[in-house]
Amino acid sequence: MEEAQYEIDLGNLMAFDQHHQFASPPASREEIVKETIEQATKLVQAVADALFSLPSTEDPDGPLVKLPEPTTKLPREKPLPKPRPPTQWEVFAKQKGIQKRKKEKMAYDEQTGTWKRLHGYDRVNDDNDIPIIEAKATDEPGTDPFAERRKEKKSRVDKQEGNRLKNLKNAQKAGALPSHIQLAATALPITGTQSQPKRVSKDVLQNVAGMAATATASGGKFDKKLPGEKPLKHEKKYRKYLPAVEGSGMGAIEKQQTENVLNRLMSKHSHQILNVEKAVNMHNVKKEKNQRRQGGQSSNSGKFKANKKSFKKTSKKGPSSSSKGKSK
Amino acid sequence: MIRIKAPKNGRIKRELEKRAPKLVETGKKTLILHGTKTSSVLNSVLTEIHHLKKDNSIKYSRRNDKIRPFESGGETSLEFFSLKTDCSLFVFASHTKKRPNNLVLGRFYDHHIYDLVEVGIENFRSMGSFSYDKKLAPQLGSKPFFAFIGEAFESVDELKHLKEVLLDLFRGEVITNLNLAGLDRVYVCTALSPNRIFFSHFALRLKKSGTKVPRMELVEVGPSMDMVVRRHRQPDDSLRKEAMKMAPDSTKKKEKNVVKDDILGKLGKIYIPDQKVGSVPLANKSKGVKRERREAKVAKGDGDKATTPKKQKKEDSE
């Protein structure tokens, strides 16, 4: 009789007594516990009555019972997965009524006379296994048929990869991307150039930023920092101070440096320090620009020509060197 | 430009697939967290809840000062932890002057907070303080019974909500096959007043009763505590509707050969098996109709016919 007033959810093994009320406010803890145990035993017994009357199958570990669905509705953890939209091929196949059929994994290879896998490494009709391709009348001379085959294969693979990406994009739009796949943006689309810029790492960027900062006279000391910008790794300019005191070792370095510069200027081959060709080019370009600005008159007459010979002592140099050679 | 990013390694792929939304969901995982300050009572409450749910719960041991449920902006890091650990239930403990011994129970839907219930813990008794036969101790991960006592669970909104959250927190995985020998624990919640419940945990002893159904006996094993409901937040109606969606029942078989017509009502096609007329045995099995006899008779007739012309021929020749 009492069982009827309990609400029982067998799927959750739950029983709920909707009618129980404490007759008087319970005085002590023990009283509450005692009352609870008494009521709970009744409830559990009611669940057990329903549970043990279910048809059971014997198992070595104990009787197994098939539980019904829980009647108390509880929220899901995650949204329901959405069905994947059909791929381009699946749409086409349905339209044409193409049925999927199983293929054998192995096939007989006539070239080698053995059974081989249909796909993958060491497969049937592998391009790598073909030693000779017979020439046809239509063949153009000068083309490598092997290279052509390889190119064709590569283009097929690339096309398939493109199709795959397209299908995945569609799936993403429908919110049904496979759980293990993400579509990540590599870079913004670049128009005009074929090659993509290399990804610059964080460290490299930091270094460049540091270098740019040191370009100011204060070495970036008074520059405003961007939010989140870290302090520079090297705050000041790289500068070497040589010891002021003269002597041997480190002390002699300053003297050596000045001597080096002087020697280069004074030496016989000092003209080689100057890149005459470049200087002449620059001069010509500048001149041309000026002329264009003035009125677009084209004149080749004013152009210098780079002289291979040096300006210095041109007349004397030749004979003197020859005389030297003679004297020796 | 878009690149396909897929795991290079099977272990990671399997891990991602485990986290993907499923048609039929397996059990929810629980995240157990501390707030900025927790009392010793709360510490032991958290460890014992973790102990009860050890099979699918994760306990964080650090203090979290950025988590403040019920406050705007105080839930982002909680949602992040849910995403990180793939948990969809949480138990958060904090102890302040305004709300001493505060325990927030909540659920996530799609790694966003679904609902929250805040309770104060009073009269806590830990598992260690109960003395009982250790053989009775419930086993880890066993399917629990639930008993809710008191009409307040039906009439009071907060308690109704709390009942649902507690059921979700402790029920474990939804199963279809249950081993009756493995039943060993009961969670009992008694409504003491419109905002206070008594939560306790019992071990079950199945005793022989002479009938098929054993007699149930409860032995308190702890923990037990009073929960005083403080704040609570129900989910949005639209969110609730979304979260309550069930997987379409795939076990239902399509009814064959039955069509519903607006005018004619239910129509059915009936297929009658092929009548094998040729192989039907004859009822009359008298000697005369037997095949051998029939054939013999025909043969005999033929013989007569064959003989007569011969005779005639002979006559002709003569």
Q: Between A317 and B152, where is the model more confident?
A: B152
B200: part of which helix (H) or strand (E)? strand B196-207
Select from B111, B151, B176 the Cβ nearest to the Cβ of A20: B151
Are B218 and A14 a contacting pair at CB < 8 A? no
pLDDT above 70 (res A36): yes
pLDDT at B204: 92
Question: Which segments of B82-130 are extended strands (E)?
Answer: 89-94, 102-109, 112-125
Question: What is the spatial distance between Cα A252 and Cα A258, in angstroms, rounded to a whole number?
Answer: 10
Mean pLDDT computed over every residue of chain B: 88
Mean pLDDT throughout B145-155? 92
pLDDT digits (tens, 9 = 90+) for B57-106: 999 999 999 999 999 888 999 999 999 999 999 999 999 999 999 999 99
CB-CB neighbors (< 8 A) of A52 in chain B: 180, 212-214
pLDDT at A306: 57
pLDDT above 60 (res A18): yes
Residue B107 distance to chain A (closest CA, Å): 8
pLDDT above 80 (res A177): yes
- The answer, for B188 touching chain A at a CB cutoff of 8 Å, is yes
State the DSSP string of A146-175: HHHHHHHHHHHHHHHHHHHHHHHHHHHHTT
* Percent of chain A whose predicted confidence (pLDDT) is above 70: 82
Residue B298 distance to chain A (closest CA, Å): 56
Question: What is the spatial distance between Cα B309 and Cα B41, in angstroms, rounded to a whole number?
Answer: 124
Mean pLDDT throughout B269-278? 84
pLDDT at B40: 95
CB-CB neighbors (< 8 A) of A33 in chain B: 200, 220, 224
Mean pLDDT throughout B96-125? 95
pLDDT at B282: 65
DSSP 8-state symbol, A216: S
pLDDT band of B315, cuts 50, 70, 90:
very low
Select from B5, B16, B110 the Cβ nearest to the Cβ of A179: B16
Question: What is the spatial distance between Cα A98 and Cα A87, in angstroms, rounded to a whole number?
Answer: 14
Asked which of A25-34, A246-255, B195-204 is least confident by mean pLDDT, the reply is: A246-255
Asked which of A54-58, A237-241, B114-118, B205-209 is least confident by mean pLDDT, the reply is: A237-241
CB-CB neighbors (< 8 A) of A26 in chain B: 192
* Listed residue (B225, B227, B210, B189) closest to B105, CA to CA: B227
Are A39 and B190 a contacting pair at CB < 8 A? yes
pLDDT at A244: 72
Place of tokens 């091929």: A89
Asked which of B20-34, B270-284, B295-309 is least confident by mean pLDDT, the reply is: B295-309
pLDDT digits (tens, 9 = 90+) for A249-298: 777 888 888 888 888 888 877 777 777 888 899 999 999 999 988 865 54
pLDDT above 60 (res A308): no
Select from A43, A165, A169 the Cβ nearest to the Cβ of B147: A43
Question: What is the spatial distance between Cα B243 and Cα A201, in angstroms, rounded to a whole number?
Answer: 42
Asked which of A21-35, B166-180, B193-207 is least confident by mean pLDDT, the reply is: A21-35
What are the structure tokens assigned to B214, written together?
Answer: 């054993």
pLDDT above 70 (res A314): no
Are B20 and A81 a contacting pair at CB < 8 A? yes
* Percent of chain B whose predicted confidence (pLDDT) is above 90: 59
pLDDT at A28: 84
Select from B28, B180, B200 the Cβ nearest to the Cβ of A62: B180
Residues 6+ apart with CB under 8 A from B184: B136, B138, B139, B142, B203, B204
Residue of A nearest to B16 (CA): A180
Query: Cα(first)–Cα(last) distance of chain B, in Å?
Result: 113
Question: What is the spatial distance between Cα A70 and Cα A68, in angstroms, rounded to a whole number?
Answer: 6
What are the structure tokens assigned to A263, written together?
Answer: 């020697």
pLDDT at A194: 52
Are B180 and A67 a contacting pair at CB < 8 A? no
- The answer, for A80 touching chain B at a CB cutoff of 8 Å, is yes
What are the structure tokens assigned to A114, written together?
Answer: 């053995």
pLDDT digits (tens, 9 = 90+) for B275-303: 877 776 667 767 767 777 778 888 887 65
CB-CB neighbors (< 8 A) of A67 in chain B: 175-178
Are A21 and B151 a contacting pair at CB < 8 A? yes
Are A39 and B23 a contacting pair at CB < 8 A? no
Q: State the amino acid at position A144 in one-letter form.
A: D
- The answer, for B5 touching chain A at a CB cutoff of 8 Å, is yes
Mean pLDDT computed over every residue of chain A: 80
- The answer, for A75 touching chain B at a CB cutoff of 8 Å, is yes
* Percent of chain A whose predicted confidence (pLDDT) is above 90: 30
Q: Between A254 and A196, where is the model more confident?
A: A254
* Listed residue (B117, B116, B104, B184) closest to B144, CA to CA: B184
pLDDT at A197: 61
Kindly indicate whether the ipTM for this predicted assembly is greater than 0.85, answering yes or no.
Answer: no
Residue of A nearest to B163 (CA): A16
pLDDT at B277: 76
pLDDT band of A195, cuts 50, 70, 90:
low
pLDDT band of A168, cuts 50, 70, 90:
very high
Select from A15, A29, A186 the Cβ nearest to the Cβ of B147: A15
Q: C-alpha A236: how far from its chain's center?
A: 35
Q: What are phi and psi of A66, to 5 degrees?
A: -90, 120
Residue A100 distance to chain B (closest CA, Å): 24
Q: Between B2 and B202, where is the model more confident?
A: B202
Question: What is the spatial distance between Cα A191 and Cα B253, in angstroms, rounded to a whole number?
Answer: 56
Residues 6+ apart with CB under 8 A from A63: A56, A57, B179, B180, B181
- The answer, for B90 touching chain A at a CB cutoff of 8 Å, is no
Q: Between B3 and A321, where is the model more confident?
A: B3
Which of residues 9 through 68 in chain A touch B, CB cutoff 8 A?
A: 11-22, 26, 29, 32-33, 35-37, 39-41, 43-45, 47-49, 51-53, 56, 59, 61-67
Q: C-alpha A225: how far from its chain's center?
A: 29
Select from B19, B111, B176 the Cβ nearest to the Cβ of A67: B176
pTM value? 0.66
Are B5 and A20 a contacting pair at CB < 8 A? no
